[in-house]
Amino acid sequence: MFGRHFWAMTRKEIIHIWRNPGTLILILLMPTLLLLILAYSLTADITHVPVAVFDQDGSQMSRAFIDQITAGNDLNLNHWVNSDQEIEDLFQSNQIKAVIILAPDFSKKLSSVDGLPLQIIIDGTEPQSGWFALDHIVNRAEKFAAQRLSNVLGDSSLNPIDVRIHTLYNPDLKSSVSLIPGLLSMVVGLPGLSIALSLAREREHGTLEQLMTTPLRRAELLLGKISPYILGGLVNVLLTTFVVRYWFKVPFNGNFFLFFVLSTIFLFAILSMGILIGVFIKTQPGALALSFLLIFFPGFFLTGIFFPITSMPEVMQLEAMFLPGTHYATVTRGAFLTGVGLDVLWLPAVAMLGMGIIFTVIGAIFFEKKLA
């Protein structure tokens, strides 16, 4: 009996989704489109930062130093300046993000192994570009100074600091490789908004009257409404995974079957959360607003995609643990980058499943199969 009632409700919801172009687009196409938009807008690697040089030394060594610092596409040497006022004007007109100032005795002190008389000024109004330029300049300045030190001491093999760096999982340190898998926890959860709107629309249009005359129980009604959205979400899992893997060239090192199963659990949890919103909110604008506040926006700030959870206040860390997206971000990064298995991902799987069951039970308890 449960199977027949469940299938009837599922079939009814599938027909409703198919006949509503807006809902169909939101479920099947919007997650992939949103992934593309967010990926291109948030994962751009910083290059071609405009800088200026104030070379007060004017020697052959200072020119060689500047050539080495500005080699490549990371920094663009756009201006040679001759005064502090020129530097101020360039910063105020937003023409540069950093300036390199070489002291008049730059080559003398460097040749005498008396330090590196170098000053760097960065634009604090755009810290990312400024810090990128600073890090790049400092790293290359250290290499240049080490080479000169070796030449002065007459030992080409001199290397006072032996630092060997090996980067795991993302050797090129591309922001797209680290960020895009985490974005899946936001875009794949979009059907949660749809199901909250669907239940609110049922209330607004009075179609719950028809369901009142059926022998459907509350659990059958809610699970029947969730199932089509889970199927649509799984289609999105396939589409977005394909885009991440073959369009953005992010490696997939895990077990895809395990990833697919854990994605199903995530969809169950996020859709149960959407059902819970639809149960308590009776209008579509209200359901949409609360869905954004509880499902979409927290994905930016609390799931660890952009900011490490460990750096958040304890209250925010606790709140993050009650969001399905937090645990799914761990799953996506584990599947794509580190290639871990269920021995590591069982905890987020249990957390998502537990939240899905709790949300569904609460929704079934408070859902009244009668007109409000």
pLDDT of residue 370: 46
What per-residue confidence (pLDDT) applies to 347? 94
Give me the pLDDT at residue 276, please: 85
Average pLDDT over residues 95-110: 84
pLDDT at position 75 over 90 = no
For range 137-154, the mean pLDDT: 73
Q: Token digits for 276?
A: 């819970």
The residue that leads in pLDDT, 71 or 220, is 71
Give the mean model confidence (pLDDT) for residues 194-217: 68
The mean pLDDT of the chain is: 80
The reported pLDDT for the residue numbered 72 is: 78
State yes or no: pLDDT of 231 exceeds 60. Answer: yes
pLDDT of amino acid 245: 92
| Whole-Å CA distances, 175 to 47, 233, 306 | 13, 26, 11
Q: What are the CA-CA distances from residue 264 to residues 41, 141, 145, 147, 196 (Å)?
A: 28, 51, 55, 56, 18
Range from 1-5, 109-113, 180-184, 283-287 carrying the lowest mean pLDDT: 1-5
pLDDT digits (tens, 9 = 90+) for 338-367: 888 999 899 999 999 999 999 888 887 877
As a whole number, mean pLDDT of residues 33-47 equals 78
Model pLDDT, residue 130: 78
For position 260, what pLDDT does the model report?
95
pLDDT at 177: 82
How many whole angstroms separate alpha carbon 137 and alpha carbon 5? Answer: 68
Say what the pLDDT of residue 312 is: 80
Q: Are strands 49-55 and 118-122 parallel, antiparallel or unpaired?
A: unpaired
CA angle in degrees (0–180, nearest 5) for 133-105-147:
60
Domains and CATH numbers, the chain: 2-42+174-366 (no CATH), 49-153 (3.40.1710.10)
Per-residue pLDDT band for 134 (boundaries 50, 70, 90) equals confident
pLDDT top residue among 340 and 9: 340
Kindly tell me the burial class for residue 114, based on how many C-beta atoms sit within 10 Å of its own C-beta (0-12, 13-18, 19 or more).
Answer: exposed
The packing angle between helices 218-242 and 2-19, to 10°, is: 50
- CA–CA separation, 180 and 161 (whole Å): 35
Q: According to the model, what pLDDT value does residue 158 have?
A: 47
* pLDDT tens digits along 293-334: 777 777 777 888 877 787 788 888 888 898 999 999 999 989
